[in-house]
């Protein structure tokens, strides 16, 4: 059976959504990153980068959410778009994976967790997140889905971070991006996404952001 190394945070949610969409059987392996599980030798053997998600499929191990989504979509020939849409799905998947996702991660870091309050860094990453959502919003004004006319792994990748948008953008959340919000609402109403949200709520992990957590998540600061 597939094993998904998981924490209820944005990047693992993308893969959980795919697996729920295809109604795959999989075992959730909880990695409590706030306690430092990602630095255990057993986990590092799966992902030397010490981050979730990781997928183990028999004797195949894949790490990084975009790699896992591509691996699964290629394996199943699902959610990768039509042949004509393939280039567009790949382009937008990379836009999410190398743009929206890491900028969102850094925005969370500087807005909520940095030991020093650094207005320049806060503004830089927040503005980059907003810029990515503006680009996505323009795309979605003329396209039903991120990659084109079909729901694809590019939408699933976007949904992972959209689910945490309020944590970066504040109470307004995605409301300034009506087309992004439309897609977020549509995906969230799918039964697969609802099952993922239920898993997210039910996963018992550490939430205190104390010294142990700072050392686990930001080890290079020490």
Ligand X SMILES: N[C@@H](CCC(=O)N[C@@H](CS)C(=O)NCC(=O)O)C(=O)O
CB 80 within 8 A of CB 145: no
Stretch that binds ligand X, among 64-72, 112-120, 139-147, 182-190 (CB under 6 A): 64-72
Binding residue for ligand X (CB under 6 A) from 64, 85, 137, 155? 64
Residue among 66 and 136 whose Cβ is closer to ligand X: 66
Does residue 163 bind ligand X (CB under 6 A)? Answer: no
User: Least distance from C-beta 83 to ligand X, angstroms?
Assistant: 26
Burial pattern 20-43, b for ≥16 Cβ within 10 A else e, equals bbeeeebebbbbbbbebbbeeeeb
Binding residue for ligand X (CB under 6 A) from 6, 26, 38, 152? 38
Residue among 189 and 221 whose Cβ is closer to ligand X: 221
Binding residue for ligand X (CB under 6 A) from 28, 30, 192, 217? 217
Stretch that binds ligand X, among 8-16, 22-30, 141-149, 195-203 (CB under 6 A): 8-16
Site for ligand X in 86-145 (CB under 6 A): 101, 105
Residue among 111 and 179 whose Cβ is closer to ligand X: 111
**Cα separation, 204 vs 207, whole angstroms:** 9
Does residue 11 bind ligand X (CB under 6 A)? Answer: yes
Does residue 213 bind ligand X (CB under 6 A)? Answer: no
Q: Interface with ligand X by CB under 6 A: which residues?
A: 7, 9-11, 33, 38, 50-53, 64-66, 101, 105, 217
């Amino acid at each position: 059976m597939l094993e998904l190394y998981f924490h209820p945070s944005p990047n693992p949610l993308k893969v959980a959504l795919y697996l729920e969409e295809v109604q795959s059987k999989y075992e959730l392996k909880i990695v409590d990153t706030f306690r430092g599980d990602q630095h255990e030798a057993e986990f590092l053997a799966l992902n030397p980068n010490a981050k979730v998600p990781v997928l183990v499929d028999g004797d195949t191990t894949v790490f990084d959410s975009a790699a896992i989504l591509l691996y699964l979509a290629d394996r199943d020939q699902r959610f990768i778009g039509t042949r004509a849409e393939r280039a567009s799905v790949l382009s937008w998947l990379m836009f999410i994976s190398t743009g929206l996702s890491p900028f969102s991660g850094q925005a969370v870091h500087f807005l909520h967790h940095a030991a020093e309050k650094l207005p320049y860094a806060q503004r830089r990453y927040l503005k980059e997140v907003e810029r990515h959502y503006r680009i996505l919003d323009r795309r979605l004004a003329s396209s039903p889905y991120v990659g084109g006319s079909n729901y694809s792994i590019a939408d699933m990748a976007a949904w992972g971070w959209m689910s945490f948008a309020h944590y970066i953008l504040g109470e307004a959340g995605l409301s300034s991006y009506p087309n992004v919000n439309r897609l977020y609402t549509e995906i969230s109403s799918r039964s697969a996404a609802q099952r993922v949200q239920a898993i997210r709520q039910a996963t018992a992990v550490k939430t205190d952001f104390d010294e142990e957590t700072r050392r686990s998540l930001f080890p290079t600061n020490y």
